[in-house]
Amino acid sequence: MSDDGSPGEFGPLSLHVPEPAVRPGGAPDFSNVELDEAGAIRRPEVDANPEDIRDLAFSIIRVLNRDGAAVGPWAGLLTDDQLIEGLRHMMTLRTFDARMQIAQRQGKTSFYMQHLGEEAVSCAFRKALAPGDMNFPTYRQAGLLIADDYPMVEMMCQIYSNERDPLKGRQLPIMYSSKEHGFFSISGNLATQYIQAVGWAMASAIKHDTKIAAGWIGDGSTAESDFHASLVFASTYKAPIVLNIVNNQWAISTFQGIARGGSGTFAARGLGFGIPALRVDGNDYLAVFAVAKWAIERARRNLGPTLIEYVTYRAGAHSTSDDPSAYRPKTESDAWPLGDPVIRLKNHLIGRGVWSDDRHKQTEAEILDTVVAAQKEAESFGTLHAGGKPSARDMFEGVYEEMPPHLRRQRQQAGV
């Protein structure tokens, strides 16, 4: 400003606030999403120098092409049976989601969050891990449990906060915990588990163990300071960890550009920390598995951390408390160029000659039966407002290993 208050040599500043390409009422537009052809991206050796593979943070590794064929250097890792199993896991998660979504609408639980469109990410990643490895998931990776055959009834009992809830009714629905299944206790506070995952991996290295950790975070939560701390620690101590970013384009109502800012990709965030970063088609089960396996092997060989950005789309609402039509076009998920992970794997298997529309329908029906049966069993132990529920006494347990005197007094006051 000059002395008289008028702009001088420089014009007035203005604040840049990024906007998504289109809002409700508009036609979906993903022309800004740059896609690489399936098979086009090279597969480096796992001990590649991070400096030599910087380009992988700016491309998208894909295996399944438009015709549903598996092509390129990342293909060929899974047998027919493994792929059919993967398809089943994704279909199971989708059916589970749909049933629980309805259960929430029926008032059987207070809250639910679906994975619609993101099933490949957690289902395929789980199969690349070994027993003993530990995930530090967010609230949108239940595929890690499904693909590890965690009992569905227990998941539902947690969602219903009933008398069989493994977490005794203390946690909001879907905040599962299972050490046995390598699934760290979910917290409502975003990004906190990312740095904890790094600590867990450091511990495994300190003890000369062979287990590795996987951290999970969404695109929006990468803006949390814990994300930054995680990358610093993982880089400094070369922790045996896979740092997963699930970029589903949306953080509730906020499009990914608000968290990403001017950075080309989320994967590129890793490069500044010297962490090799891969970007992968998150709706391509085969690509997710291949990239996960690569990063897990790097970690297991003590070569340090890897960052993976899964490019996908949150097809459903953020949660049962959310209405996406208020902030994005209703048909946007149909326009998503990476399609639907279930349909893509289905078509691939049909193309391989090991699957058919009939088998798919039949499997769908079987899965529905299984999920409905599990739901019936879970509901026999109660739902949030009806039937069996955890004891009020349980509320006071587990704050500490041993209940201190003040909590004992309060429990007596509560009359439990």
Partner 1 sequence: MPRKTMIEAIRDAMDIMMERDDNVVVFGEDVGFFGGVFRCTQGLQAKYGKTRCFDAPISEAGIVGAAIGMAAYGLKPCIEIQFADYVYPAYDQIVSEAARLRYRSNGDFTCPIVVRMPVGGGIFGGQTHSQSPEALFTHVSGLKVVVPSNPHDAKGLLISAIEDPDPVIFLEPKRLYNGPFDGHYDRPVTPWSKHDLGEVPDGHYTVPLGKAIKRREGSKLTILAYGTMVYVAEAAAEEHGIDAEIIDLRTLLPLDLETIVESVSKTGRCVVVHEATLTSGFGAELAALVQEHCFYKLEAPVVRVTGWDTPYPHAQEWDYFPGPVRLGRALVETLEG
Tokens of 362: 């039949």
Spatial CB neighbours of 234, under 8 Å, sequence gap ≥ 6: 198, 201, 241, 243, 273, 275, 304, 305
Per CB under 8 A, residues contacting partner 1 are 134, 136, 166-168, 170-171, 175, 177-179, 184-185, 187-189, 192, 194-207, 213, 225-226, 228-230, 232-233, 236, 398-401, 404-406
Q: Closest CB to partner 1 among 102 and 399?
A: 399
**Nearest approach, Cβ of 194 to partner 1 (angstroms)?**
8
Q: Closest CB to partner 1 among 211 and 328?
A: 211
Q: Closest CB to partner 1 among 232 and 373?
A: 232
DSSP per residue over 260-310, as a string?
Answer: HTT-S-STHHHHTTT--EEEEETT-HHHHHHHHHHHHHHHHTT---EEEEE
**Nearest approach, Cβ of 408 to partner 1 (angstroms)?**
10
Cβ atoms 244, 230 nearer than 8 A: no
**Nearest approach, Cβ of 162 to partner 1 (angstroms)?**
14
**Nearest approach, Cβ of 246 to partner 1 (angstroms)?**
20
**Nearest approach, Cβ of 180 to partner 1 (angstroms)?**
8
Q: Closest CB to partner 1 among 74 and 176?
A: 176
Q: Exposure of 45 by Cβ count < 10 A (0-12 exposed, 13-18 middle, 19+ buried)?
A: exposed
Question: 386 pairs with which residues across the strands?
Answer: 383
Tokens of 109: 């639980």
Q: Closest CB to partner 1 among 65 and 222?
A: 222
**Nearest approach, Cβ of 189 to partner 1 (angstroms)?**
4
Cβ atoms 160, 108 nearer than 8 A: yes
CA distance 77 to 86: 13
Q: Closest CB to partner 1 among 112 and 136?
A: 136
Sign of the dihedral defined by the CA atoms of residues 146, 291, 252, 116, in that order: negative
**Nearest approach, Cβ of 332 to partner 1 (angstroms)?**
33
DSSP assignment letter at 220: G
Q: Closest CB to partner 1 among 373 and 399?
A: 399
